[in-house]
């Protein structure tokens, strides 16, 4: 098995890890009323599963992050060069960065170092400390809102199904897991963009909030409905781990070019 094939295999582990994180988020909301984001879900699973599970999740998240970043650079998912394709590649780049940061957190947890759990607020504070920081945060909020809208559009159109093996994409249960999941994520991203917009306009990092704050902001039973959607996204991620059509990242070619 060459390097490209090994990365593809580990990327499937990454999809499964993403699924486990979202299922954990939904479980915590429904069973305990506790709102978490993927970072908090990673801490929760790491505490319950131990170092072996953390090591597996870290490897999967690393491969997934690299695969997303490679998609942004090499267009391995065939997005195209039009406006929509460029937007999808930018989204892949952002997803790659997020999952590489989750990888780092998993490694830190493996080493016994707990994170603060305030990544969104800390990141916003860093942005606000820069020249024109408020404007940067406001632009970030608008971009996050656009991502939320894009997620809702995907839920309605079902475009995410084109990446699955056709026999699975035709299954109604798989379709609705994906639709519910993308709709829930879209709503969460739009609420988070509202928090980020407030932080930028008021120049207060404490106003910023991610997925956990967005879920907490929702009242019952809407939070449970959204949690059900996130559970669906987790299941859909597990489906992708097995049945998504993955194009190999040209790792071997890149290494040859770098060493020639």
The mean pLDDT values, 10 residues at a time, for the chain of 260 residues are 78 93 95 90 85 89 90 83 84 90 88 70 86 91 92 94 94 96 96 94 88 92 95 97 85 55
Residue numbers of the domain that contains 111? 1-117
Q: Which of 117, 141, 169 is the last residue of a domain?
A: 117
Contact 205, 28 (CB under 8 A): no
Co-location of 93 and 130 in the same domain: no
Q: Which of 64, 89, 117 is the last residue of a domain?
A: 117
Contact 200, 141 (CB under 8 A): yes
State residue 115's pLDDT score: 63
Kindly state whether residue 92 falls inside one of the protein's structural domains. Answer: yes
Co-location of 3 and 102 in the same domain: yes
Contacts of 192 (CB under 8 A, 6+ apart): 120, 144, 148, 209, 210, 211, 213, 214
Kindly state whether residue 79 falls inside one of the protein's structural domains. Answer: yes
Kindly state whether residue 245 falls inside one of the protein's structural domains. Answer: no
Strand partners, 164: 244
- Cα–Cα distance measured from residue 159 to residue 150, given in angstroms and rounded to the nearest whole number: 11
Co-location of 47 and 157 in the same domain: no
Q: Provide the 8-state DSSP code for 207.
A: G
Kindly state whether residue 247 falls inside one of the protein's structural domains. Answer: no
- Cα–Cα distance measured from residue 172 to residue 77, given in angstroms and rounded to the nearest whole number: 24
Kindly state whether residue 61 falls inside one of the protein's structural domains. Answer: yes
Kindly state whether residue 200 falls inside one of the protein's structural domains. Answer: yes
Q: Which of 72, 97, 117 is the last residue of a domain?
A: 117
As for how many domains the chain has, the answer is 2
Co-location of 148 and 40 in the same domain: no
Kindly state whether residue 249 falls inside one of the protein's structural domains. Answer: no
Using the structure block, give the residue that is written with the tokens 């486990």.
20
Kindly state whether residue 154 falls inside one of the protein's structural domains. Answer: yes
Co-location of 154 and 76 in the same domain: no
Q: Name the nearest CA neighbour of 4 among 241, 246, 249, 258.
A: 249
Co-location of 2 and 107 in the same domain: yes
State residue 251's pLDDT score: 62
Co-location of 210 and 128 in the same domain: yes
Co-location of 2 and 71 in the same domain: yes
The pTM assigned to this predicted structure is 0.89
Contact 57, 73 (CB under 8 A): no
State residue 259's pLDDT score: 55
Tokens of 139: 């632009």
- Cα–Cα distance measured from residue 223 to residue 168, given in angstroms and rounded to the nearest whole number: 29
Helices (H), the chain: 3-32, 38-74, 83-110, 119-128, 133-157, 166-169, 172-202, 211-217, 222-243, 251-259
Co-location of 106 and 195 in the same domain: no
Q: Name the nearest CA neighbour of 178 among 9, 15, 13.
A: 15
Co-location of 158 and 100 in the same domain: no
Co-location of 105 and 134 in the same domain: no
Could you tell me how many residues make up the chain?
A: 260
Exposed, middle or buried, 107 (CB in 10 Å: 0-12/13-18/19+)? middle
Co-location of 101 and 45 in the same domain: yes
Q: Per 3-state DSSP, what percentage of the chain is helix, strand, and coil (rounded to 5)?
A: 80, 0, 20
């Amino acid at each position: 098995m060459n390097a490209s094939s090994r990365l593809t295999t580990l990327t499937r582990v990454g999809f499964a890890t993403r699924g486990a994180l979202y299922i954990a988020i939904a479980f915590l909301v429904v069973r305990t009323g506790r709102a978490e984001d993927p970072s908090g879900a990673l801490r929760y699973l790491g505490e319950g599963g131990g170092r072996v599970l953390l090591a597996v999740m870290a490897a999967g998240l690393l491969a997934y992050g690299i695969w997303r970043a490679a998609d942004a650079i090499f267009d391995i998912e065939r997005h195209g060069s039009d406006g929509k394709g460029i937007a999808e590649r930018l989204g892949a780049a952002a997803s790659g960065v997020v999952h590489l940061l989750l990888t780092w957190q998993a490694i830190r947890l493996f080493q016994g170092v707990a994170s603060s759990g305030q990544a969104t607020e800390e990141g916003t504070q860093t942005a606000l400390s820069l020249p024109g920081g408020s404007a940067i945060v406001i632009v970030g909020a608008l971009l996050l809102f656009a991502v939320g809208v894009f997620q809702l559009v995907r839920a309605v159109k079902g475009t995410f199904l084109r990446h699955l093996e056709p026999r699975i994409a035709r299954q109604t249960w798989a379709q609705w897991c994906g639709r519910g999941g993308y709709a829930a994520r879209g709503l969460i991203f739009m609420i988070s963009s509202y928090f980020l917009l407030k932080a930028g306009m008021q120049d207060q990092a404490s106003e910023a909030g991610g997925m956990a704050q967005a879920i907490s902001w929702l009242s019952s039973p809407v939070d449970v409905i959204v949690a059900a959607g996130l559970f669906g996204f987790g299941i859909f991620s597990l489906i992708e781990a097995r049945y998504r059509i993955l194009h190999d990242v040209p790792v071997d070619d890149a290494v040859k070019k770098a060493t020639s």
